[in-house]
Structure 1
Amino acid sequence: MDGDTIVIQKTQIRLFGVDAPELDHPHGKRAKWAMVNLCKGQQVSAEILETDAHGRTVAKCYLPDGRDLSAEMVKQGLALDWPKFSGGIYRDLETPDARKKLWLADARQKGRMRVWESYAARRRSQDSE
């Protein structure tokens, strides 16, 4: 679906401990296609952990060779560790420029939603021109 959400047997699964850009944010489509490329033709397994505040299933997801999808997305610089949920287990995997490149996700993690709102307002005004 996007850089931090997949579907397994009709169940939408939010990857544990990471945050990727939304599809309409910078690098959002790149994150989605990186996820598609990782999973395509693979049998992905999920270790379900919880249901989040939005009703989504949260799971640690693994490729057949044992690679953690959350870790793989962070290593590619297309997702950020979200310490509030991960305890910081993916932080050391972040690329040096990841927080700068994925600035909207970084802002969300820090509770700076006015940055999101400002971005959305700019997008709406550009779309209406």
Structure 2
Amino acid sequence: MEKSAKWALVSLCKGKTIQAQIIGQDAHGRNVAKCYLQDGTDLSAEMVKLGLAIDWPKFSGGVYGALELPGIRKKLWLADARQNGRMHVWKQFEAQQNSNASQ
């Protein structure tokens, strides 16, 4: 998922000028910014619409929530669990899916 997001962002931005407006810092001290292309394209909105990001209401005020694909929060959460070695979470999810399918 991470690589897909990276290449989608490269595709959206390659050869273009990006404007970034820093709006805060996350819990790890990293800057959070609203990023736009010169034509006004909101890069956060584009990534959310592609299913490669989710709304972060703490910083966005919830403006991207309506753009999220159905079920994307669970999908991204499970992908993160798989990538970060929390396979027990993934296995529990698969077991639950299998038991629901057999009912």
Same fold (TM over 0.5): yes
Work out whether 1:94 is the aligned partner of 2:59: no
Displaced runs of 4 or more, over 6 A: none
**Alignment match of 1:79 (pick from 44, 47, 53):** 53
The residue number in structure 2 matching 1:51 is 25
Which one has the bigger helix percentage? 2
Shift of 1:50: 2.0
Larger Rg: 2
**Higher RCO (C-alpha 8 Å, min separation 6):** 1
Unaligned stretches of 5+ residues in structure 2 = 88-103
Unaligned stretches of 5+ residues in structure 1 = 1-26, 106-114, 123-129
Shift of 1:121: 4.5
| Percent identical residues | 64
Which one has the bigger strand percentage? 1
What's the Cα RMSD here? 2.5
TM-score by length of 2: 0.70
